[in-house]
Amino acid sequence: MDENYFQKPIADRRRNEYAVVIFLPHHLDELIAPLREKYDPLYNLVSAHLTLVFPFYSNRPLEELVGAIKAVVSRTEPLVVELDSIGDFYPKSPCIYWSVRSNNSLTDSYYGLYAGLDLPLELKEYVPHVTIAREISNHRVMMVKDAVASYLPFEKFEVEAVDLITPLAGRKWVSVRTIPLSGLDFLSL
């Protein structure tokens, strides 16, 4: 621990890590769980999801963050996510994913949430996806893609909410708030 930890203002000591995601419906999470378990060393840290805001640190109060997210997503009608083919980010990043068909509402939410949370954009070009495999060596990419592709049918689901997630001490990410799109009202967790 930083030896000056207790001399810092309380706000600086309370920096928490968060991300904003769309969780896949349970049946789709179960469908890809065996693939993620086999090919993604981080599979047990978070359920299958699409990331809207990549992990960030904030010392803002939780309700202030939730308010900023609500301001953006309350203007977003429930949207349909279409999961399609397999893709990868090689050679930039060792990641194989289930790709999401182009969706303006998702893209608008990505940019809107970064602006609403006053965060610098993580990626200038947003590529919504569900990670299936990571840390696969370059020479195994095609083999893993071939093994995974037959398990990934075309699927679509309606998104009604986004989740603000944070890691617990064991690094497992959990939802701290479920925030409905378009004014729908869910209970906070």
Whole-number Cα distances in Å, 103 to 57, 83, 107, 124, 184? 27, 11, 6, 16, 21
In the structure, what pLDDT confidence band is assigned to residue 187 with cuts at 50, 70 and 90?
Answer: very low
Residue 12: is its pLDDT beyond 60?
A: no
Which tens digits make up the pLDDT trace of 73-112? 988 877 899 999 999 998 888 899 999 998 899 999 999 9
* pTM of the predicted protein model: 0.86
Cα-based angle 105, 129, 40 (whole degrees, multiple of 5): 155
DSSP per-residue codes, the chain: --TTGGGS-HHHHT-EEEEEEEEPPHHHHHHHHHHHHHH-TTGGGS-SEEEEEEEEEE-S-HHHHHHHHHHHHTTSPPEEEEEEEEEE-TTTS-EEEEEE---HHHHHHHHHHHHHTT---S-SS---EEEEEES--GGGHHHHHHHHHTT---EEEEE-EEEEEEE-TTS-EEEEEEEESTT------
